[in-house]
Amino acid sequence: MPCWYYEKKELRNTPSIQDGIDYETECRYRKEGARFIIDTGTKMDLGYNTMATGVVYFHRFYMFHSFKNFPRYVTACCCLFLAGKVEETPKKCKDIIKTAKTLLSDQKFLTFGEDPKEEVMTLERILLQTIKFDLQVEHPYSYLLKYAKCLKGDKNKLQKMVQMAWTFVNDSLCTTLSLQWEPEIIAVALMYLAGKLSKFEVVDWNGRLPKHLRWWDMFVEDVTMDLLEDICHQVLDLYSQANNAKAPDSPPLVSTHEGNREWATIPTANDVAASAPATPNKISKIEVTSSTVNGSSNADATDGSKPVEIPAHFPPYPATFTPSSTAYPPVFPPTNISVPPPSVTTINHIVSAMHPFNSSGAIRPSAPALAPPTFQPFPYPAATTYFQPGNPAPPSTTQRAYYPP
């Protein structure tokens, strides 16, 4: 399998950057694409694993292609479409497109061309080749829950910490962290961050050995504080990015500098709570800011400074093409991701959906979503003849010619 992890300097030399897009703009495109996958997936009741898989495909895709050549929202739909099948929560292509249309401005939807479905279908083959059919992707969520189970301490505080870490993982999808670090390390770092912000200090844990200085030494090796802080700042920068009008330098390039940052400068949950609505809304301050920026067409690579140009499209299927009547079976029961987050998560998260817990709240996997991906029964075409009409009729006598009755 190819290596899907990159150095920071490689992330500053992507096909898009070589194509003349600046680094900050690429980061924004990635964030918008990831965001859009999550919004579309949430609206379609898809589980967090499906959405996260789609986002990882999206990030990997743009390590080989430029945002100028492939408009991000079409790619995003394609990634979600493929992830749905891979995670056994298939959605029809036309339904994804329909949902996408409700979330995009007319102008952005123009990038889907005259036949959006054909556009996505053709792109799917390019996507599969680009990601080398490396379909199975792991996410920090499962590690987060696994690690949390080992931690000792106040159950209530622990749960709040995990809830917060969970939303950080959601938000981390908008960064290129999945292209830099294994999900285990991201889980550790964002639990560390959530622990700091929710004032949950881990002093003891199950399975502790004398050589373990920190709880995560049980699960990951050689993770320095510099690295953890760098990962945390890449996520936190999302919030400052959204709050500041000007583009910040994110993700941070030099980790030594990051290590010197004071934790005190990071807004704590309480600080944020004071300046944010008490109940987090779907549309937070951050989102309003960023969507205003997104709305301006001259910032779009595909549009450039020229008037909107309707992009290229693929020839449609020939008229002789007869679609089969096969329909996907009902999807896997949706996970309970629409539960409003507990009040601890009043930080302006980029991604407000996808929650780990049911409202009841004990730390446990939220039912089916955390189980290993369950396969769907094969959808049998309703009116398919499996055998050619010309087949010889079966002999009416017993078949066991080689075996005595």
Partner 1 sequence: MNTKEKEKYIEEFDFPHCDESTKYEKVAKIGQGTFGEVFKAKEKNSNKKFVAMKKVLMDNEKEGFPITALREIKILQLLKHENVVNLIEICRTRAAQYNRYRSTFYLVFDFCEHDLAGLLSNVNVKFSLGEIKKVMQQLLNGLYYIHSNKILHRDMKAANVLITKNGILKLADFGLARAFSANKNGQVNRYTNRVVTLWYRPPELLLGDRNYGPPVDLWGAGCIMAEMWTRSPIMQGNTEQQQLTLISQLCGSVTTEVWPGVENLELFNKMELPKGQKRKVKERLKPYVKDPFACDLLDKLLILDPSKRYDSDSALNHDFFWTDPMPCDLSKMLAQHTQSMFEYLAPPRRPGHMRHPHHPVPGGPAKPSSSMADSGYQDRVF
The span from the CA of 258 to the CA of 405, in Å, is 80
From residue 84, give the alpha-carbon distance in Å to each of 47, 119, 133, 271. Answer: 9, 18, 15, 38
CB of 29 to partner 1, least distance (A): 16
Structure tokens belonging to residue 207: 């399975």
Residues near partner 1, by CB under 8 A: 1-2, 64-65, 68-69, 81-82, 85-86, 90, 92-93, 120-122, 124-126, 128-136, 311-315, 317, 322-324, 326, 328, 368, 371-378, 380, 384-389, 391-395, 399-405
Rg of the chain in Å (alpha carbons): 24
Q: By C-beta, is 91 or 355 nearer to partner 1?
A: 91
Structure tokens belonging to residue 402: 């080689």
CB of 136 to partner 1, least distance (A): 6
Residues, the chain, total? 405
Q: By C-beta, is 289 or 297 nearer to partner 1?
A: 297
CB of 381 to partner 1, least distance (A): 8
CB of 131 to partner 1, least distance (A): 7
Buried b (16+ CB within 10 A) or exposed e, 116-146: bbbbbbbbbeebeebbeeeeebebbbbbbbe
Structure tokens belonging to residue 276: 């944010």
Q: By C-beta, is 277 or 333 nearer to partner 1?
A: 333
CB of 394 to partner 1, least distance (A): 5
CA-angle at 354, arms to 348 and 356, nearest 5°: 105
Q: By C-beta, is 15 or 356 nearer to partner 1?
A: 15
CB of 80 to partner 1, least distance (A): 12
Q: By C-beta, is 26 or 171 nearer to partner 1?
A: 26
In single-letter form, the type of residue at position 262 comes to: E
Q: By C-beta, is 260 or 385 nearer to partner 1?
A: 385
Q: By C-beta, is 64 or 109 nearer to partner 1?
A: 64
> 């450039």: which residue's tokens?
304
CB of 94 to partner 1, least distance (A): 9
Sequence-distant (6+) residues with CB within 8 A of 387 are: none
